[in-house]
Amino acid sequence: MKTSLFRFGGKVILILAAAALTAPKLNAQDDAGVRFGIKLAPNMSWFKSDTKGLESDGSKLGYTFGLVTEFPIGEKGNYRFATGLFLNAVGGKYLQAYSYTENNQSLTKKLGSDVKLQYIQIPVTMKLMTNEIGYMRYYGQIGFDVAANVKAKANYDDAVVTTDPNTQETSVSFRKMDKEDIKDRIQPVRAGLVVGAGLEYNFSGSTTVQAGVTYNNGLTNLLKKVEVPDGNGNMKKAKLLQNYLELNLALFF
């Protein structure tokens, strides 16, 4: 997994380096030119269940931080291909149905999980900008992002099944697990739809501050090796999506 992440990051660095080498040519044709900056975006994230027996149970605060890059399209730079390389920290809480038998009775209990995730994220978006109005420009943004999971921790309820050696009867007890590594339950790659809007203020020259709001809607299942009861005595694969809303703050140099 680590080797694949290094290859993944290496390809990104090569792309950004190539963009930097071609920047002078783009500047000769465009007033705006290629832009590099730093992004810091606090976010509020939550899970969305796509499976009966699994439900969202609250949100968490996180952040996105890293390098943002924009490539102009056209003479005025009103259309831009925007990408970057970010550390994305998100999470959420969910309840999972657990079925068991006790005293010859079929019971179901909701087990809670409080999850924190970290990703290396690369967005691929188009940014549509207005002409400068005073020192301000307004924009809308849409596209996709792909992220590789690098860390997954959770506090969760765990079921412990024990068997009496004399009667062979089973019993179930529950315990709280704290800050456990759950990478084996999380898919290594996540993809999402990105939609955003905001404004920019130019201080002087190429120094620009950007502020906006971005919504990321998860498109791929977050979980692997997780099953929930289907209500008919069988188990089915659980599907959970990651969504978040972030306050997008960036400084371009």
pLDDT (tens digit, 0 to 9) for every residue of the chain, 253 residues total?
444 444 544 454 444 445 444 444 433 333 458 899 999 999 999 999 988 889 999 999 999 999 999 999 877 778 999 999 999 999 999 999 888 877 777 888 899 999 999 999 999 999 999 998 888 999 999 999 999 999 999 999 998 888 878 777 778 889 999 999 999 999 999 999 999 999 999 887 788 999 999 999 999 999 988 888 776 767 888 899 999 999 999 999 8
Asked whether 45 and 92 are in contact (CB, 8 A), the reply is: yes
Q: Is 225 left (phi over 0), alpha (psi -120 to 50) or beta?
A: left
Question: Residue 13, SS3?
Answer: helix
Strands 54-73 and 105-129: unpaired
Alpha helices in the chain (DSSP H): 2-29
pLDDT recorded at residue 112: 93
Q: Domain locations in the chain?
A: 2-252
On whether the 2-252 domain is CATH 2.40.160.20, my answer is yes
**What is the residue whose two structure tokens read 């038998």?**
101
Asked whether 46 and 85 are in contact (CB, 8 A), the reply is: no
Comparing CA positions, the residue from 39, 90, 32 lying closest to residue 63 is: 90
List, in sequence order, every residue forming a beta bridge with 129; answer none if it has no partner. Answer: 139
pLDDT recorded at residue 52: 86
Please state the pTM of the whole predicted model: 0.81
How many whole angstroms separate alpha carbon 148 and alpha carbon 227? Answer: 23
